[in-house]
């Protein structure tokens, strides 16, 4: 990767931060300094514990350039989860923003490095350069092992498919999120673009969660960005803001959204607001993105065509991917060196377009024996723009029940009218005839959400299913 950066016009701007710009020559020099340090110190495995910054980017690219194993530790993980990640990978060094009694400055950056002494064998597939952790529906994160080629293959495909020359990308998601790491750092830099990095507080984030919508809107409006990566929740925020008078910058050329099912009405609303949104799909086990719409071939309801490096088949309703499969899970040798990835996603192909129908493990089986993917009615609820959260439950019940967190100022009669409209598009067994208004948003701290904001459905069912059953009875 370092050689690629050196081949670009060295005077072009590679990275912009809150108060500095770095051309490609300066960026390459900073990376080379860290490369030399890692090799001189004999650093084997790094845990990188830091928020978005030029230093995070430099350390990550230096690790890739020296084939040093790196473990990005999400800043929003709990301390117990962070320690689990560090110990399970047997990292030799921790790089962080805060000094400790035993740490020393990391040359060329504002970070600090500490030798933690977890030397020793670890069950990890050969060729692993990065371990990305996702906790999914449990509190114990699981390590997905990726090679250097796994990551760069996806980045190169994105450059080819998106087709923008020297894009300026504004990073909104945490770099520890694999999507932003690959699509927000590697892809723009591979094609000579610019990565714009704004600190968490100025872009309105605390960890992975948006806490200041106005800060986010100001950041985007003033960014002159060409591209953004969004999760569905952020797309909803921008659409609501547009309806309230906010205008996205004219510079935007491509806004990718992924991480969950997005209803076509929300996609259409975003485009009407001037947001050039293209829905995509990916998973860590395939090194992030595997399918993406483009501006030239953009479907409201599909996640697009598979990227050039991957093929897919449907087996018993489940999407199976082949090409660029991950090396395996940390500590699970039986998972290593597989040719295919079982996605656990229900999907279908219509022509060359991929359509998602929900997660296999999320299926609700009602008392009539019907299988219902909750993402289906949830996407219709999300598309109304009335709710900050909407989750559907109903396991073993005769009818579904919606748990709703309305936006401020949304009246109950408006909710009822909206549900009646949604029900016109749903068959009897999937209609939302009952709802529960949440007193407060479901949160990570309550154990109801994963770190990236996805519902922990088992915990939600355990908490609300009894109350829901009284409504249906």
pLDDT digits over 259-293, tens only?
A: 777 778 889 999 999 999 999 999 999 999 999 99
According to the model, what pLDDT value does residue 429 have?
Answer: 82
Mean pLDDT, to the nearest integer, of 316-333? 96
Q: Rounded to two decimals, what is the model's pTM? A: 0.84
**Nearest-CA neighbor of 143 among 341, 344, 328, 333?**
328
**Domain edges within the chain:** 363-472
Kindly report the three-state secondary structure assignment for every residue of the chain: CHHHHHHCCCCCEEEECCCCEEEHHHHHHHHHHHHHHHHHCCCCEEEEECCCCHHHHHHHHHHHHCCCEEEECCCCCCHHHHHHHHHHCCCCEEEECCCCCCCEECCCCCCEEEECCCCCCCCCCCCCCEEEEECCCCCCCEEEEECHHHHHHHHHHHHHHHCCCCCEEEECCCCCCHHHHHHHHHHHHHCCCEEEECCCCCCCEECCEECCHHHHHHHHHCCCCCEEEECHHHHHHHHHHHHCCCCCCCCCCEEEECCCCCCHHHHHHHHHCCCCEEEEEEEHHHCEEEEECCCCCCCCCCCEEECCCCEEEEECCEEEEECCCCCEECCCHHHCCCCEEEEEEEEEEECCEEEEEEEHHHCEECCCCCEECCHHHHHHHHHCCCEEEEEEECCCCCCCEEEEEECCCCCHHHHHHHHHHHHCCCCHHHCCCEEEECCCCCCCCCCCECCCCCECHHHHHHHHHHHHHHHHC
- The confidence score (pLDDT) of residue 332 equals 94
Q: What was the pLDDT predicted at 418?
A: 94
**Would the pLDDT of 231 be above 60?**
yes
User: In whole numbers, what is the pLDDT of the chain averaged over residues?
Assistant: 92
Residue 135 has pLDDT above 60, yes or no: no
Q: Read off the pLDDT of each residue in 36-43 and give the average, rounded to a whole number.
A: 95
- Hey, which residues does 377 pair with through a beta bridge? none
- How many whole angstroms separate alpha carbon 269 and alpha carbon 288? 26
Residue 110 has pLDDT above 80, yes or no: yes
Show the tokens assigned to 126. Answer: 């050969």
Residue 463: C-alpha distances to residues 73, 353, 362, 455, 459 (Å)? 30, 38, 16, 13, 6
Q: Does the structure show a pLDDT above 60 at 136? A: no
Query: Quick one: pLDDT band at residue 309, thresholds 50, 70, 90?
Result: very high
Q: What was the pLDDT predicted at 452?
A: 67
Q: How large a percentage of the chain has pLDDT more than 90? A: 74
Q: What is the pLDDT of residues 387-414, one digit of tens each?
A: 999 999 998 888 999 999 999 899 999 9
| Best CATH choice for the domain 363-472 from the list 3.40.1010.10, 3.20.20.60, 3.30.300.30, 3.50.50.60 | 3.30.300.30
- Residues 180-193 pLDDT 10s: 999 999 999 999 99
Assign 120 a pLDDT band (cuts: 50, 70, 90).
Answer: low
Average pLDDT over residues 40-63: 96
In this predicted structure, the answer to whether residue 237 has a pLDDT above a threshold of 60 is: yes
Please tell me the predicted confidence (pLDDT) of residue 11. Answer: 96
% of the chain residues with pLDDT over 70: 97
Question: How high is the pLDDT of residue 138?
Answer: 47
pLDDT above 90 for 415: yes
Evaluate whether 370 touches 428 at the Cβ level (below 8 Å): no
pLDDT at residue 35, rounded to an integer: 97
Longest CA–CA separation in the chain, Å: 69
pLDDT of residue 203: 92
pLDDT of residue 157: 98
pLDDT value at 103 more than 60: yes
């Amino acid at each position: 990767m370092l050689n690629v950066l050196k081949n670009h016009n060295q005077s072009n701007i590679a990275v912009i931060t809150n108060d500095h710009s770095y051309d490609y020559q300066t960026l390459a020099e900073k990376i080379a300094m860290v490369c030399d340090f890692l090799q001189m110190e004999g650093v084997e495995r790094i845990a990188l514990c830091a928020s978005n910054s030029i230093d995070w980017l430099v350390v990550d690219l230096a690790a890739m350039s020296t084939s040093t194993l790196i473990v990005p530790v999400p800043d929003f993980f709990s301390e117990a989860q962070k320690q689990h990640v560090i110990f399970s990978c047997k990292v030799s060094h921790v790089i962080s923003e805060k000094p400790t009694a035993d740490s020393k400055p990391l040359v060329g950056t504002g970070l600090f490095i500490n030798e933690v002494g977890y030397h020793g064998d670890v069950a990890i597939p050969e060729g692993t350069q990065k371990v990305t952790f996702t906790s999914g529906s449990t509190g114990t994160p699981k390590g997905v092992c990726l090679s250097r080629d796994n990551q760069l293959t996806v980045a190169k495909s994105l450059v080819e498919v998106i087709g923008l020359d020297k894009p300026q990308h504004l990073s909104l998601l945490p770099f520890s999120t694999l999507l932003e790491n690959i699509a927000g750092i590697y892809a723009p830099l591979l094609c000579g673009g610019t990565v714009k990095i704004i600190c968490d507080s100025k872009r309105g984030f605390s960890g992975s969660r948006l806490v200041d919508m106005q800060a986010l809107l100001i950041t985007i409006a003033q960014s002159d960005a060409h591209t953004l990566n969004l999760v569905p929740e952020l797309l909803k925020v921008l659409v609501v803001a547009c309806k309230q008078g906010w205008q996205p910058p004219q510079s935007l050329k491509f806004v990718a959204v992924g991480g969950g099912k997005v209803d076509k009405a929300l996609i259409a609303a975003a485009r009407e607001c001037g947001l050039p949104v293209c829905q995509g799909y990916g998973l860590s086990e395939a090194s992030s993105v595997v399918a993406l719409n483009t501006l030239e071939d953009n479907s409201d309801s599909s996640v697009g065509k598979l990227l050039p490096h991957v093929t897919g088949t449907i087996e018993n309703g489940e999407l199976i991917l082949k090409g660029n499969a991950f090396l395996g899970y940390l500590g699970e040798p039986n998972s290593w060196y597989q040719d295919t990835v079982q996605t656990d996603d229900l999907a279908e192909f219509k022509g060359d377009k991929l359509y998602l129908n929900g997660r296999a493990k999320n299926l609700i089986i009602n008392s009539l024996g019907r299988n219902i993917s909750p993402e289906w009615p949830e996407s219709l609820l999300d598309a109304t723009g009335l709710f900050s959260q909407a989750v559907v439950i109903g396991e073993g019940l005769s009818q579904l029940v919606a748990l709703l967190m309305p936006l401020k100022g949304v009246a109950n009669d408006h909710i009822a009218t909206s549900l009646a409209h949604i029900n016109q598009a749903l068959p009897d067994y999937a209609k939302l005839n009952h709802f529960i208004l949440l007193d407060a948003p479901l949160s990570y701290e309550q154990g109801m959400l994963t770190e990236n904001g996805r519902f922990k459905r088992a915990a939600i069912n355990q908490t609300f299913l009894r109350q829901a059953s009284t409504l249906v009875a």
